[in-house]
Amino acid sequence: MKILVTGGAGYIGSHTLVELLEAGHEVVVLDNLCNGAREALARVEQITGQPVSFVEGDVRDRVQLDALFDWHDIEAVIHFAGLKAVGESVAKPLAYYDNNVAGSLNLCQAMAAAGVFRLVFSSSATVYGPEAPVPYTETLPRGRATNPYGTSKAMVEQLLEDLCRADERWSVSLLRYFNPIGAHPSGLIGEDPQGVPNNLMPFIAQVAVGRRSHLAVFGDDYPTPDGSCVRDYLHVVDLAAGHVRALEAMSSPGVATYNLGTGQGYSVLEMVAAFTAVTGQAVPYQIAPRRDGDLAAFWADAAKAERELGWRALHGLEAMMADTWRWQYHNPKGYRLRVTDAV
Ligand code: NAD
Ligand code: WQD
């Protein structure tokens, strides 16, 4: 299949390109590079030995989308492009609704005009909201999102459900990711956050590589076994494979919603200890106040994806830690400079 991958130069997108190419699909990437790297695409080509067509552009640009669909015979779209920083979304709601909601709307309009009706959408466990009981199952209703980022994901889910109800040519997979971490085992591609990382794993890796002095553990007084928050971390290569499965399983019209997680939760302190145990790298940390908006603990019920897609996470914590470190160690400044180039 020839697949348009929006946001393919980003973290999850680049790993999904590898899985798609290795499964025999052709890819075209559309990315405005606001948080992605051209170098990531070159590395995907290096890993797979296959070419990646790249269009630098924005999902909100309808003229460019029409030209792209005219030029390429696209059969399906995987839509990663969007902004993802929760805190920033509170400060810049318009940017988030514009990018994530207006961008998705524009993409759907261009797809319909081009006669392309298969879409896989990057959603998030955040749509379950703060009141949902754990583990989260797909049968739960969407909850009250606590920030514009979460609301934007819930809005796009709703938009896509309405679209499928109105027009049975559409086939849509809503993939609700839990906490993706890790990197491709080659060490060539991985997560490359701009500025201070918001997320736990890139922060741990940057402390270990000497870019930051210590980790702040946000709260040790939660009602969890060790007092720190619990999350369902999954390897990004497993997550990427889930997209290929979702795409290939898409046969009937309508919306199908899947949690992509492991079903297993780990605390922040367990993650720090596991990183050190696997890599031998110390991660100094200090207990800090709770971070606004954090939930104590959540993890996935991942049974539906296994039952219907034949997908489950294959990598455990050890691989997640080892692969994060391999990427960080060989690319201490992300895609900007490799350690081998520095000497
Ligand atoms: P990322 O920032 O690494 O990748 C997003 C890519 O989209 C970037 O390359 C960026 O340049 C591009 N982009 C952003 N706006 C664009 C636009 N308007 N037009 C074209 N390209 C645009 O993020 P990621 O972690 O790979 O996340 C991918 C998707 O998965 C996002 O939609 C995100 O909300 C969702 N998601 C991520 C996580 C996570 O923890 N990483 C969890 C749940 C859901
Ligand atoms: C994990 C745990 C922090 C950093 C976010 C989004 C969610 C989804 C995934 C997109 C929490 C703790 C973190 C640090 C810490 N993204 N932590 N010190 O918050 O579960 O989910 O990313 O859809 O929507 O909200 O992930 O990696 O930020 O945090 O103690 O420096 O690590 O408090 O308990 P989170 P995270």
The pLDDT tens digits for 17-75 are: 999 999 999 999 999 999 999 999 999 999 999 999 999 999 999 999 999 999 999 99
pLDDT above 90 covers what percent of the chain?
97
Q: How confident is the model at residue 340 (pLDDT cuts 50, 70, 90)?
A: low
pLDDT digits (tens, 9 = 90+) for 68-117: 999 999 999 999 999 999 999 999 999 999 999 999 999 999 999 999 99
Burial class from Cβ neighbours inside 10 Å (0-12, 13-18, 19+) for residue 166 reads exposed
Q: Which ligand is nearest to the CA of 219?
A: 2
- Percent of the chain with pLDDT strictly greater than 70: 98
Residue 36 CA, closest ligand 1 atom number: 9
Residue 62 maps to a domain: yes
Active site (annotated) includes residue 149? yes
- Each residue of 150-185: pLDDT tens digit? 999 999 999 999 999 999 999 999 999 999 999 999
Across the range 129-135, mean pLDDT stands at 97
Distance CA 254, CA 163 (A): 9
Structure-token match 């900007």, residue found: 336
Q: Give me the long-range contacts of 83-87 (CB less than 8 A, separation at least 24).
A: 83/34, 83/35, 83/149, 84/35, 84/149, 85/149, 85/198, 86/126, 86/147, 86/149, 86/150, 86/198, 86/293, 87/147, 87/198
Q: What is the pLDDT of residue 178?
A: 98
Q: How far is the CA of 199 from the centre of ligand 2 (A)?
A: 5
Q: What are phi and psi of 108, to 5 degrees?
A: -65, -40
- pLDDT in the model for residue 341: 47
Residue 139 sits in a domain of what CATH number?
3.40.50.720
Which comes out higher in pLDDT, residue 341 or 272? 272
Per-residue pLDDT, averaged over 126-147, amounts to 97
Which residue has a Cα nearest atom 3 of ligand 2? 218
**pLDDT for 342:** 42
Burial 123-162 (b: 16+ CB within 10 A, else e): bbbbbbbeebebbbebeeebbebbbbbbbbbbbbbebbbe
Taking phi over 0 as left and psi of -120 to 50 as alpha, with beta for the rest, 33 belongs to: left
Has residue 342 been placed in a domain? no
Q: Is the confidence at residue 343, as pLDDT, over 50? A: no
Average pLDDT value for residue range 243-268: 97
Any domain includes 77: yes
Q: Which atom of ligand 2 is nearest to the CA of 288?
A: 30
Q: What residue type is 64 in one-letter code?
A: Q
pLDDT of 278-318, one tens digit each? Answer: 999 999 999 999 999 999 999 999 999 999 999 999 999 99
Inter-residue contact 65 to 108 (CB < 8 Å) = no
Q: CB of 125 within 8 A of CB of 298?
A: yes
Considering the domain boundaries, does residue 343 fall inside one?
A: no
Torsions phi, psi for 112 (to 5 deg): -60, -40
Overall domain count for the chain:
1
Amino acid sitting at position 295? L
Structure tokens of 115?
């006669």
The pTM of the whole model exceeds 0.75: yes
Quote the CA–CA distance of 209 and 184 in Å, as a whole number. 18
Maximum C-alpha span of the chain = 59
What's the pLDDT band for 337 if we cut at 50, 70, 90?
A: low
- Residue 84 in any domain: the answer is yes
Question: Looking at residue 117, what DSSP letter applies?
Answer: -
300 in a domain, yes or no? Answer: yes
Does pLDDT of 196 surpass 50?
yes
Tell whether the model's pLDDT for residue 338 goes beyond 70. Answer: no
**Which residue out of 4, 6, 12, 177 has the highest number of ligand 1 atoms within 8 Å of its CB and is therefore the one to mutate?**
12
Question: Residue 235, SS3?
Answer: strand
List the domain range (segments joined by +) for residue 248. Answer: 2-337
Mean pLDDT of the chain: 97
